Amino acid sequence: MARNAEKAMTTLARWRAAQVQDKGGFEKERRPYLATECKDLGKAEKWRIQIIREIARKVSQIQNAGLGEFKIRDLNDEINKLIREKYHWEMQIKELGGPDYARVGPRMFDHEGREVPGNRGYKYFGAAKDLPGVRELFEQEPPLPPRKTRPELMKDIDADYYGYRDDDDAILMSLEQIKEAKQL
């Protein structure tokens, strides 16, 4: 195996060093920390697409339930952070005169296929939905039936409830007369 000094002197290493020195060469341009620092629509679109790719890569990673609870939680946090960052880039693109991705972009749907009206906030992806504490968030207990108030309970109570009109019943009167006749 060659020594580090010998590796540094290879033709490829010298050519690469010259490229970097001349014009920046292979250095990647870094995404600005704040979306508002970018004033070029093309670059803003490029950074938005880069964030979408990162989100897709992390969502595919989080599908693996064997990663461990802490790694899954970290990945889910990173995905939510990237989603917020994507939103900031979309607002900057709109401000620079580009398309409004919030209106044109994909919608979020619930398990019954209806569009979720307020799909903001923290979301859980892949194996993060099965973590302890998260599962309970999705399993909602059926709501208890509303308790009736005193006026609602008293609404159906009348003289029949207390048996005051039992004497008005013709069937009962005829039965009583038969019984009285047998006793005499």
Rounded CA-CA distance 110/105 in Å is: 17
Rounded CA-CA distance 37/135 in Å is: 40
Which ranges of the chain does DSSP label H, i.e. alpha helix?
4-8, 11-23, 41-62, 69-95, 101-104, 135-138, 150-154, 159-162, 170-183
Amino acid identity of residue 19, one-letter, is: Q
Rounded CA-CA distance 94/100 in Å is: 5
pLDDT tens, per residue, the chain with 184 residues:
567 777 777 888 888 888 877 766 555 788 889 989 989 999 999 999 999 999 999 999 999 888 889 999 999 999 999 999 999 999 999 999 988 887 776 666 655 665 555 456 788 888 888 888 887 776 777 788 888 899 988 888 887 788 777 667 777 778 888 999 998 7
Q: What is the pLDDT of residue 114?
A: 59
The three-class DSSP label of residue 109 is: strand
